[in-house]
Amino acid sequence: MFKTYMYPNLHLMLQRHIPLKSLNTFGFDVEASLFLPIADEEILHNVWKTNLLSMSSPLILGGGSNILFKDNYPGLILQNLIAGMQVAKETENHIWLRCGGGEVWHNVVMYTIQNNWGGLENMSLIPGTIGASPIQNIGAYGAELKDVFEELEAFDMLYGKMVTLRADDCAFAYRDSLFKQNGKGRYFITYVTLRLNKNPSVNVKYGDIANILEQWGISKPGIADVSRAVIHIRRSKLPDPAELGNCGSFFKNPVVSKEVADTLCATYPDAKRFDQPDGTAKLAAGWLIEKAGWKGYRRGDAGVHEKQALVMVNYGNATGAEILSLAGEIVEDIQAKFQVNLEMEVNTR
């Protein structure tokens, strides 16, 4: 049973030994030694005045949708609960929407759809909070966060002050950013501002979006139609974490040289590749995993989803170590069979 206590003189409502099962979408039955909800910037300043950040290995937790706990977390977890959405700026053609880092990403998407502000519709139903979205540079169906990102505000836990970072500062790349590299663990993202289009045009070129819209008899789709199609596709392919523990796509789609892609496609004409502007090619990790025979594989309660090979699942009582071990075997097998290196999207702790 966890206990709550006040940190001396600073009004910090710390919790000890809090269970994290409901706070990670894999549903791992682990706990945090220390846990502190963050609802505003003042709490962050107060934390920095203590020795907690330097002595307790702080981990920032959003929706818990991209994290794999190998065991109990021995340090301090800071949960981002900063809420709020407001228009920060408006012109004839654009809206700048400032969102609290604790807001659920899909709720923000739905808010923009309701107001007919374009830019997020292809990223409907991505799990997690908006504060975590810059970390992964999240994306789906031909869209990425960087396409609509204006700036973010964050608490710099190294120097104890608020900073504002724009796109160039964040070093966005495919499922990557400053926050997974040199800035890992340094910034607590409090607000994200998005630049959205008041006269949106839709992108239906990626995946099955166009086919779904055609099946529905929609010839001139708006952003609400695209969002609905993306939600339909995601729900048909990806398991609901409330029913089957998972974190969505577990692996990145590997980016390889043209020569590697040409060799693979010469051997496997059905291989899925997406040529990139810089001459490289992105391969479909799900295709590689399925082709290697791992789709639907299960070992105990750890497995690969039967409908989407990109998704590792917890059938009930798997541990993070068991999921990670199975993922490691898959990486080794893909390397041996195709000479392609798979990288995990998920953060391990």
Catalytic residue among 175, 228, 273, 349: 175
Same domain, 180 and 280: no
Mean per-residue pLDDT over the chain, rounded: 93
* Active-site residue flag, 150: no
Backbone angles phi, psi at 172, to 5 degrees: -65, 140
Instruction: Give the structural domain span for 34.
Output: 3-80
Query: Over 70: is that where the pLDDT of 1 sits?
Result: no
213 in a structural domain: no
7-16, 218-227, 329-338: range with lowest mean pLDDT: 7-16
Catalytic residue flag (residue 22)? no
pLDDT at 274: 87
Set 249, 273, 322, 349: catalytic member: 249
Residue of 31, 144, 151, 345 marked active site? 345
State whether 309 and 327 are in the same domain: yes
pLDDT tens-place string over residues 41-51? 999 999 998 88
| Whole-number Cα distances in Å, 258 to 246, 262, 280 | 32, 6, 5
- Mean pLDDT across 242-253: 92
User: Which of 49, 80, 111 is the last residue before a domain boundary?
Assistant: 80
Q: What is the CATH number of the domain that holds 27?
A: 3.30.43.10
Residue type for 121, please? E
Same domain, 186 and 91: yes
Output the domain CATH number for residue 189. Answer: 3.30.465.10
Q: Provide the whole-model pTM.
A: 0.89
Is 175 designated active site? Answer: yes
